[in-house]
Amino acid sequence: MRFNLRFFLLTIIILVIEILIATVLKDWVFVRAYLGDVIVVILIYTFVLSFFTIQKKIKLILGIFAFSVFIEILQYFKTAEFLGFKKGEIAYIVLGNSFAWEDILCYAVGCLFIWICIKIGNK
């Protein structure tokens, strides 16, 4: 475990973008519905690399994709409501409550984008 300031600052920037998408750009349907889901996996990736050195980046990417799909499955079963979270609470927002196959596709696109960036960066 080690702290990486560059990835941490990138995480903060991406988090601010996600917050802007959820609040200011919420009426921009494409951005809110799709781009936010593509970006969220990138946010998780940079957050993990802020604190851990990962040699096998593909395993991290696949783990992030699996985690994202797991959260989406929890949304299918309305887990946030089942656990008693109220709409608007942080836990409700983070967990979400609406399943969509398109979200899983967006997570895959985000993970593919990360992988492409890694491949380009290694050349």
User: For the segment 4-29, what is each residue's pLDDT rounded down to a tens digit?
Assistant: 999 999 999 999 999 898 888 878 87
pLDDT for position 123: 55
Q: What is the mean pLDDT of residues 25-36?
A: 84
The answer to whether the pTM exceeds 0.85 is yes
Residue found under tokens 């990962």: 54
pLDDT-based confidence at residue 95 (cuts at 50, 70, 90): confident
Domain span at 63: 5-121
pLDDT for position 117: 96
pLDDT for position 32: 80
Q: Which of 17-31, 75-89, 97-111 has the highest mean pLDDT?
A: 97-111
The C-alpha angle with vertex 25 and arms to 88 and 102, in degrees rounded to 5, equals: 75
Q: How many domains does the chain have?
A: 1
List, in sequence order, the alpha helices (H) in the chain: 5-23, 29-30, 36-51, 57-76, 79-82, 90-95, 101-121
pLDDT for position 58: 97
Q: What is the mean pLDDT of residues 59-68?
A: 98
